[in-house]
């Protein structure tokens, strides 16, 4: 199925969870926060949160800023 | 008399209290715009700060260097203050604040419960949108955040933000990154008068516009509780020396404020005795 991650289309298997996606992207879970369709998905729910077709995800981290 | 007797009690253990956060330094330093993360780390250490701001941005899906600021920050040493920089609506600012909180919870950093709220109105001036800032303050306070509000130096807006529950109001000295210093000290004075009326410990922090150490000192001499800056250090020709200068500037300004400056007068007052001179005075 197709999802949108940080504005970029991405093809993922049907049963992909948020945790699966972060693992595919080789991201350190403690360094990021994830929003699906404008709603924050808390880290504790990453393993159970199933993604669906056309979900729009934001995967954010901390960067330098003032 | 010992040397220690000259130090006023207020200076011993002087710290910046912002909501539930107690900071040893009155300088809050941003982590943006440094030439490298290594330089950033050194500058932060030299500035003496124990509170640093960070921004929340999309994780790059492909990062050739694989660097993350978190690999260069000792998060046990600094309280992180996540900002909502780059937001132009109350809704987006609330989203970004929640995302920042989620990351800081994961890091077990004490900064997870506060946010530097920044809701901008346009990209040219980076001036805050006062209406959206007020809306976002109300939403974030209701969501349990301690909100530190970046705002203009308008005393009326400052007062409204405090009434909305802001933990600290942070008027800009001048536009973000402009290096123009404190353009309207009288507005900062009125902000202080209004915000501290009957509430002298309410923290007021000058945020933005600082270009050099004297700007920090001037802000502190006005009686603000702290200064937040980034570009002034990060883009100085030598950021490490400037970090030291900013540290000295904040201490000088704080001490001068506590000491109480002499009033300004139009005419001179002699420092040496006017009697007993061997020279006759001119008529």
Q: Which of B33, B116, B124, B264 is catalytic?
A: B116
Strands B51-58 and A56-64 come out as: antiparallel
In sequence order, what are the beta bridge partners of B27? B227
How many contacts (CB atoms, under 8 Å) link A and B? 105
Catalytic residue flag (residue B162): no
Chain B residue with Cα closest to A65: B32
Residue A9 touches chain B, beta carbons under 8 Å? no
Q: Is the pTM of this model over 0.90?
A: yes
Best probe of the B interface among A32, A35, A65, by most B CBs < 10 A, is A65
DSSP string of B179-213? Answer: ----S-HHHHHHHHHHHTTT-TT--BEEES---SH
DSSP assignment, residue B119? B
Rounded distance between C-alpha atoms, residue B27 and residue B42, angstroms:
15
pLDDT, tens digit only, all 283 positions of chain B: 444 445 454 555 689 999 999 999 999 999 999 999 999 999 999 999 999 999 999 988 655 567 789 889 999 999 999 999 999 999 999 999 999 999 999 999 999 999 999 999 999 999 999 999 999 999 999 999 999 999 999 999 999 999 999 999 999 999 999 999 999 999 999 999 999 999 999 999 999 999 999 999 999 999 999 999 999 999 999 999 999 999 999 999 999 999 999 999 999 999 999 899 999 989 8
Helices (H) and strands (E) in chain B, counts: 8, 10
Q: Which helix (H) or strand (E) holds B157?
A: helix B155-163
| Cβ-defined contact of A62 to B82 (cutoff 8 Å) | yes
Q: Where are the domains of chain B?
A: 14-259
Which residues lie below 8 Å from residue B6, measured CB to CB, with a gap of 6+?
none
> Which chain A residues contact residue B93 at CB under 8 A?
none
CATH of domain B14-259: 3.20.20.70
Q: Which two tokens stand for residue A47?
A: 């393993």
Chain A: nearest CA to B222, how far in angstroms? 23
Give the phi and the psi of residue B115 in degrees, each rounded to 5: -155, 145
């Amino acid at each position: 199925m197709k999802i949108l991650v940080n504005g970029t289309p991405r093809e993922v298997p049907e049963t992909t969870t948020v945790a699966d996606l972060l693992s595919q992207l080789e991201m350190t879970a403690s360094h990021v926060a994830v929003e699906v369709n404008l709603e924050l998905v808390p880290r504790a729910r990453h393993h159970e949160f199933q993604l669906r077709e056309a979900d729009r995800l934001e995967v954010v981290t901390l960067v330098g800023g003032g | 008399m010992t040397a220690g007797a000259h130090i006023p009690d207020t200076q011993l253990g002087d710290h910046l209290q912002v909501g539930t956060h107690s900071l040893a330094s009155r300088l809050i330093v941003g982590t943006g715009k440094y030439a490298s993360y290594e330089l950033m780390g050194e500058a932060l250490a030299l500035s003496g700060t124990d509170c640093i701001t960070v921004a929340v941005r999309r994780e790059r899906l492909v990062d050739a260097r694989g660097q993350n600021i978190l690999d260069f920050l000792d998060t046990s040493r600094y309280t992180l203050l996540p900002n909502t920089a780059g937001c132009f609506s109350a809704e987006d600012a609330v989203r970004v604040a929640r995302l920042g909180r989620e990351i800081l919870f994961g890091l077990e950093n004490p900064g997870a419960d506060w946010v530097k709220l920044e809701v901008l109105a346009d990209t040219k001036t980076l001036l805050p949108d006062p209406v959206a800032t007020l809306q976002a303050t109300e939403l974030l306070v209701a969501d349990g955040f301690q909100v530190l509000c970046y705002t203009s130096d308008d005393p009326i807006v400052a007062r409204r933000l405090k009434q909305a529950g802001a933990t600290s109001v942070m008027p800009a000295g001048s536009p973000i990154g402009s290096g123009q210093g404190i353009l309207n000290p009288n507005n900062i004075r009125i902000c202080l008068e209004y915000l501290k009326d009957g509430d002298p410990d309410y923290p007021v922090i000058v945020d933005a516009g600082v270009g050099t150490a004297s700007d920090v000192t001037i802000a502190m001499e006005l009686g603000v509780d702290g200064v937040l800056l980034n570009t002034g250090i990060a883009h100085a020709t030598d950021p490490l020396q400037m970090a030291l200068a900013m540290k000295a500037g904040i201490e000088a300004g704080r001490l001068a404020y506590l000491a109480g400056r002499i009033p300004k007068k139009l005419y001179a007052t002699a420092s040496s005795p006017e009697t007993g001179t061997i020279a006759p005075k001119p008529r």
